[in-house]
Amino acid sequence: MEAKNENLKESFSKAYDNFSDAIFRYCLYQTSNKEKALDLTADTFTKTWEYISSGKELDNIRAFLYRVANNLIIDDRRKKKSDSLDAMTEFGFDVKDENDENKGHENAFEGKIAMEAVAQLDEKYRDVLMLKYVDDMSIKEIAKILDETENNISVRMHRALEKLKNILGENKI
């Protein structure tokens, strides 16, 4: 029994090491509040630990962590809703290329334009884009996190990209 507990602790610790930064970024992106994101990240891992230490099995801990985080974010939004692109950039969401200063400024500008365009999308479209392109998840993982079919996620991804193209096309100088 003790060996099983040690394996459980070790696998949970490994999951924390591998996914805590990504879960924090996801929570920060969703809340635009560093302290709230830290709290949600801690709560995500606490709830996950409670789940697996009670003897329940997980097939994909990464997807489970994102699902728990997503549910906590939804609960938090029900309490109070706030979105701020400025707060995200204040806490480090900035695209820079350190090797080439001019290219870095250009990338930062393009990154800001892209983030502003993404911010104009409905939440359901922002979520799938974030999970796919920021957290590098598959359609299958996103479907599991959002508790939807893979087909729905694929369609939503396609629609999100089309809407993003339209927004970016309208903003051309």
CATH class of 1-84: mainly alpha
Residue-wise pLDDT for 71-113, tens only, equals: 998 888 877 644 444 455 555 555 444 444 555 555 566 667 7
Residue-wise pLDDT for 22-72, tens only, equals: 999 999 888 888 999 999 999 999 999 999 888 888 888 999 999 999 999
pTM: 0.57
DSSP string, 107-146: HHHHHHHHHHHHHTS-HHHHHHHIIIIIS---HHHHHHHH
Residues 6+ apart with CB under 8 A from 145: 63, 66, 67, 70, 131, 137
The span from the CA of 32 to the CA of 119, in Å, is 12
Q: Please name the fold of domain 95-173.
A: Arc Repressor Mutant, subunit A (1.10.10)
φ, ψ dihedrals at 6, nearest 5°: -65, -40
Residue spans per domain, the chain: 1-84, 95-173
Nearest to 77 by CA among 141, 124, 137, 133: 124
